[in-house]
């Protein structure tokens, strides 16, 4: 397996978005390399819309995979409803993207439920786990 220390992209994201992480890798968090871009995109959108005062009310509490899906927990403590809803929208978008994105490489992927550890993977990475390719849903517009 190619598990090296540089497989952990979280410290890099923390450095990139210090306001949102408060300078710390959140506890019990893990992020596969294939999902870094979609997490980065969501955090960049959230970061861009917040003033410093607002950002002080926000904290990325956990990033992980569950049931083959990204879980990105962003706490917003004291923000107006509209801002909270926009943050929730960006998080939801990233989660929806993760359901179609290989967690290992970022290529289009499908949810693989044949193994005890449910994961979203492309055919190549599913084959590495010993699974047959599956028919993919038709793409709904490629990311630019
Ligand atoms: Zn892959």
Question: Cβ–Cβ contacts within 10 Å for residue 69, how many?
Answer: 17
- Asked if residue 87 belongs to a domain, the reply is yes
Q: How far is the CA of 123 from the centre of ligand 1 (A)?
A: 7
Q: How far is the CA of 73 from the centre of ligand 1 (A)?
A: 24
- Residue 9 sits in which domain range? 3-100
- Asked if residue 135 belongs to a domain, the reply is no
Q: How far is the CA of 144 from the centre of ligand 1 (A)?
A: 19
- Asked if residue 116 belongs to a domain, the reply is no
| Residues 75-98 pLDDT 10s | 998 999 999 999 999 999 999 999
Whether 99 contacts 69, CB under 8 Å? yes
- Asked if residue 12 belongs to a domain, the reply is yes
pTM of this structure = 0.85
Is pLDDT of 103 > 50?
yes
Q: How far is the CA of 16 from the centre of ligand 1 (A)?
A: 25
Of the candidates 74, 96, 98, 99, the one whose C-alpha atom is nearest the C-alpha of residue 86 is 74
Domain count, the chain: 1
| Residues 6-53 pLDDT 10s | 578 999 999 999 999 999 999 999 999 999 999 999 999 999 999 999
Rounded to 5°, angle at Cα 66 from 65 and 68: 80
Cα(first)–Cα(last) distance of the chain, in Å? 31
Q: How far is the CA of 39 from the centre of ligand 1 (A)?
A: 17
- Asked if residue 64 belongs to a domain, the reply is yes
């Amino acid at each position: 397996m190619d598990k090296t220390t540089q497989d952990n992209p979280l410290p890099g994201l923390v450095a990139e978005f210090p306001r949102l992480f408060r300078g710390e890798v959140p506890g019990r968090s893990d992020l596969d390399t294939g999902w870094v871009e979609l997490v980065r995109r969501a955090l960049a959108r959230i970061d861009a819309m917040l003033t410093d005062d607002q950002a002080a009310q926000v904290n990325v509490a956990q990033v992980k995979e569950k049931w083959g899906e990204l879980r990105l927990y962003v706490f917003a403590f004291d923000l107006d409803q509209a801002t909270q809803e926009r943050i929730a929208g960006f998080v939801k978008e990233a989660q929806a993207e993760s359901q179609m994105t290989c967690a290992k490489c970022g290529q289009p992927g499908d949810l693989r439920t044949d193994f005890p550890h449910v994961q979203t993977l492309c055919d190549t990475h599913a084959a590495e786990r010993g699974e047959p390719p599956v028919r993919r849903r038709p793409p709904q517009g490629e990311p630019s």
